[in-house]
Structure formats: C-alpha cells, structure tokens
Amino acid sequence: MKISVRKYPLLILVLILFIISNGKTAGQQNKLNSFQVLWDNDFLNIRGDGTDRYYTNGIRLDLFYLKKQKTKFPSSLLLNISNDNNNIFSWGLAQSMFTPRNISYPDIQYNDRPYSGALFGIHSLQSTHSGKRTRVNTEIRFGVIGPLSFAKETQTWVHNAFNYTKPLGWHNQVPTDIILNYNINIEKQLLYPSRNLLVTGIIETYNGTVYNAAGAGFMLKLGKFQNYLEEYFIPIKKRDIPFQLYLFMKPAIRVVLSNALLQGGLLNQIWAQNTGYTLNKDIIERLLPLYDAGATLVLPAFSLTISQKFIGPEFKGQYTQEFGNLTMKFKL
C-alpha cells in the first residue's frame, strides 16, 4: 500500500486532535495535572559520538490528569491499587524509528536491523499505594508499525532540513501491522535509609502484538527529592518540596519473547507479505541488559530530566545501543 506524503500531516493532525480531544474531555470532567514531552535520540550523547543506527529517534507527548468521576472504559482496564485515590491518568501520542547501521545504502542489509517505525496512542494510569510503598504504572498502546507510522517521512524531512545523510533504505522497512499492547510496571520501595537516598525494586511486563517481554531491576536515587512512595506518612505541609535535584541510575535485565519491530507483526505472521525485510526469530537475543542513568531538576512549575540509556544487543551481531533522553514536564 502506497501512502502519499501529502496525507502525512493530515493523519498526524487527526491523531493529535484525537489525543487533545480526550485530554480536553478529561480537563472538563476532571483536573489537568501536567504536560510532558519526552525525546530520545542517538545524537544526544555525552561523548559527542552520535551513531544514527538502531533506535535512532523517539518522541512522546503525554497529558496527565486526575479523575473526579467514576472510572469508565477504557480507563477501567488499567490497574488501580491506590488506598487514597492517588491516581494520575494520561493520554499520549508517540512515534519511534529504527534503522540499520548504514542508512546511505539502499539495498536490504541482511543480518542487520530492519528499517522500522511505530506510531501509537497511549492511555495510562499511575497508581500509588503509599501504605504499601508501591506504585503500579499500566498503559495501553494502540497504533501501527510500518509505512503508516511515517517514520520514513519524518527522518527524511529532518535529515534534509539539517543537510545530513539521506536515509535510502526505507522502502525495505518492516510491513504495516497493528499495535495493541498492555504494559505493566511495578515499583516497590526497598531501602529508604535517609531523605537523600532511595532504592526501589522494579518488575515489568509487556504483552501484545508488538512486544512481549518481562524484566526486573532496581532504581537508586541520590540527592534532594520527594519520595512519592512515602507521601501517606508525610505531613501534608511537608509533602510539596519546591526544589528537587537528584541523580539516578536504573539497571535492569529483560527476557524477550518477541519484537514485531524486528520480526514483523501479527498480521505479517498470519498473512506473509512480500514487501519489507524482517529478521528470523532464531537470531533474536532473548536476554537483554539495560541501563539508564541521569539527573532530574524539579521546580514548582517545571521539571527537566537528562539521561543516557544503554541497551544490549537485541539480535545476534548487533552492537550495544547508546542514546540520550530529554524529558520536560510542565505543571498545568
């Protein structure tokens, strides 16, 4: 299926309006909390050594709000563990893109990462039980992978705008397929010996058409911060810290069952498509190490997080990936 580039802005506009309309409805019926912009890119590198390979760019927009009314579908599908209605919902929109090592080569690069892109909406719930010092974040992702993600058009436009290498192999990208995933992240306080040091344990699962995996790890925070898992035990007057500045690190290990952005999606497995290049399941690495480290600044109306992320090889012969993340959050 060939999609005209001229239709690209229209489809993106429709998706954005869909998210905004849900956010507007949330704002009318509930209470808006914050707006977040998340950007991943392999040129955001502390060593100044951008790679432009594998996971090369990702952007995500989220509108967070507090519900005043009874939870209805699809919010009712998300896990609520709160003992005092400590829940934050969100609607979001995201795009991710992946490329092989050499984007200036037009032919299929066998045994290397396929070109692939994803465009999807997100509905999530961040639910905290302060009494149990536990937070559960669940999210539903829905959208498409393949040409309809417009990853090709996005990367080509950006590279042309900055007079950078033109990606020539997008016609070989992973075929169009659907995204419908249900992801769960559980965070539990392990150690809190002082107000400047926190260690939490993390368990995560990913289930659906695009990614199936499970993992575990921990996060260490060091500095001046508000422990959101202890709010139930903190006097109300002391809960809001106007200034926070802390460092964090988050190592994890993940077991991967399938990845549609490498292997092709559900529809491709049922009805094999002749277009696009995908990897055989036998060369997928099943054990995936991850590491994330950075710093966060929190002000009364704004927060900024800068971090470096490392991901081990996702298939045999791949290098370790390194990319930076910039996250900005605005209070509403």
Question: Average pLDDT, whole number, for the chain?
Answer: 87
- DSSP string of 140-167, one letter each residue: EEEEEESGGG-HHHHHHHHHHHTT-PPP
Q: Are 168 and 210 in contact (CB under 8 A)?
A: no
CATH for 184: 2.40.128.140
If you search the block for the tokens 């579908």, which residue do you land on?
73
> Which residues span the domain enclosing 61?
5-331
Domain count, the chain: 1
Per-residue pLDDT, 275: 79
Per-residue pLDDT tens over the stretch 292-301: 999 999 999 9
CA separation for the pair 247, 224 (Å, rounded)? 9
Decide: residue 42, CB within 10 A, 0-12 exposed, 13-18 middle, 19+ buried: buried
Please tell me the predicted confidence (pLDDT) of residue 67: 82
**Residue 83: partners with Cβ closer than 8 Å, 6 or more residues away:** 129, 130, 131, 132, 232
Average pLDDT rounded to a whole number, residues 141-151: 95
